Amino acid sequence: MLKNCLIGQSGGPTAVINASLKGVIDVAKESKYFNNIYGMRYGIQGLLNGQVVDLSQKSSQELRLLKYTPSSVLGTSRYKIVDYNDNDEDYVKLFKLLNELKIGFLFYIGGNDSMDTVYKLNRYAKEKGIDIKIIGIPKTVDNDLLETDHCPGYGSASKYIATSVMEIARDSRVYDIKNVHIVEVMGRESGWLAASSMLASNDKLSTPDYIYVPEIEFSINKFIKDIEKKMKEQKAVVVVVSEGIKDKHNNYISVGKSTTHDHFGHKKLGGAAPMLAPFIKGNLCDRVKAIKLDVMQRAAAHCVSKRDAEEAYILGVKAAEAAIEGKTGTMISIKRLSNNPYKVEYIETPVGNIANKVKVLPNKYIEEDKNQINEKYKDYVLPLIKGEVNICYKDGLPQYAELDCLNNEILINS
């Protein structure tokens, strides 16, 4: 049996994606079941280019830092591999490279599209009689994977968003003038991230005033009326919008005339907050700020949730253990058993149940007026942001792992 393992990271980074990587590496090292541990540079796309790094000999110091290092140290990609029944060129090349490296186990850390890759590769391997175990490890700040209670990366992103909105709201109150802050967060098809901003509200501060999510049809006229109503009650208004809010025709508010798409066919969004700001500025008040949290919300390790990092690490551990047990074509999922006390278990889910599907924010969490999130959602999300970590600092700044993975360490020239 081929005993080397290969790990890849795909899609948008998170604050805890490297914790899952460390989980796999730790089991691989401690179990001595795998001969060598390799990493893909830039996901499947990098592997197709022969870009692979050897992780077996990385220093214990770098691996220790890895758990709380944000973004994808191996690099990532959004490469869409087509179905092999339509074109098997990538598959033939990939499995040739895997055979050259004597890979018997492949781990892929990512979201919806990454699980699609796991699903396709596993199907191909089975059909061709190739003995390789392929395991998916969930990751996405969007929290939109089916068959798992929540996704690693979401808790930390939620913590950052709630903290940022809390700080923005305090800043908005320093002037004795009317003002509106429109804060845009990620979330193309689901409002999980926008919903998390409701955690900014406490017994000393009520914010944000409104939250608009993609699950609810967005009306600019209603948006203006909402702001107008709130400004009769207070001078400073803070609004949170998902980047993916849509009108009654199912068109993204932020797209405008853009027809640009990424490799997966997703339209590139132009910014909901900047699009909405002109409808308020000059009409209801002169001071309007459009704020895009953008990439900050997905890789803010200084605001990481300890629970999020711990669960991400455990998922990596469970994935490696499942592979050793002979499992393949599965994703390791989180099943919540209780909120208080918070308790979960880790289960295996056929990756075909997850690939290319989206878990949206349930209506039970959305208020009747369609512009706010209720307390039921708080019970769901609050446990996910709990805990702080002791990040290593050097010269006053966080110290993160590098592993030399993004330099020129290439094993194969394809």
Residue by residue, pLDDT tens for the chain (414 residues) are 568 999 999 999 999 999 999 999 999 999 989 999 999 999 999 999 999 999 988 888 888 899 999 999 999 998 999 999 999 999 999 999 999 999 999 999 999 999 999 999 999 999 999 999 999 999 999 999 999 999 999 999 999 999 999 999 999 999 899 999 999 999 999 999 999 999 999 999 999 999 999 999 999 999 999 999 999 999 999 999 999 999 999 999 986 544 454 454 445 566 999 999 999 998 899 899 999 999 999 989 999 999 999 999 999 999 999 999 999 999 999 999 999 999 999 999 999 999 989 999 999 999 999 999 999 999 999 999 999 999 999 999 999 998 766 554 555 655
362, part of any domain: no
CATH code for the domain in which residue 34 is found: 3.40.50.450
Tally of domains within the chain: 2
The crossing angle, in degrees rounded to 10, of helices 306-324 and 154-172 is: 170
Which pLDDT does position 258 carry in this prediction? 46
Asked if 192 and 274 sit in the same domain, the reply is yes
Asked if 235 and 271 sit in the same domain, the reply is yes
29, part of any domain: yes
Which pLDDT does position 200 carry in this prediction? 98
365, part of any domain: no
Asked if 317 and 283 sit in the same domain, the reply is no
Asked if 63 and 22 sit in the same domain, the reply is yes
CATH code for the domain in which residue 250 is found: 3.40.50.460
Asked if 125 and 183 sit in the same domain, the reply is no
287, part of any domain: yes
Asked if 10 and 133 sit in the same domain, the reply is yes
Asked if 266 and 206 sit in the same domain, the reply is yes
Which pLDDT does position 261 carry in this prediction? 47
Which pLDDT does position 364 carry in this prediction? 97
Q: Compute the distance between CA of residue 40 and CA of residue 38 in angstroms, rounded to an integer.
A: 7
Domain that holds residue 274: 154-298
Asked if 205 and 316 sit in the same domain, the reply is no
Q: Strands 287-292, 330-339: parallel, antiparallel or unpaired by DSSP?
A: unpaired
Q: Which residues are catalytic?
A: 142
Q: Strands 133-138, 179-185: parallel, antiparallel or unpaired by DSSP?
A: unpaired
Which pLDDT does position 410 carry in this prediction? 54
User: Where is the domain boundary, 255, 273, 298?
Assistant: 298
Asked if 275 and 311 sit in the same domain, the reply is no
256, part of any domain: yes
User: pTM higher than 0.85 for the full model?
Assistant: yes
Residue 300 DSSP label: -
User: Where is the domain boundary, 273, 298, 323?
Assistant: 298
Residue 110 DSSP label: E
Asked if 168 and 186 sit in the same domain, the reply is yes
Please check whether residue 208 is in contact with residue 226, taking contact to mean a CB–CB distance below 8 angstroms. Answer: no
278, part of any domain: yes
114, part of any domain: yes
Asked if 112 and 161 sit in the same domain, the reply is no
Q: Cis bond leading into 350, ω under 30°?
A: no
44, part of any domain: yes
Asked if 135 and 161 sit in the same domain, the reply is no
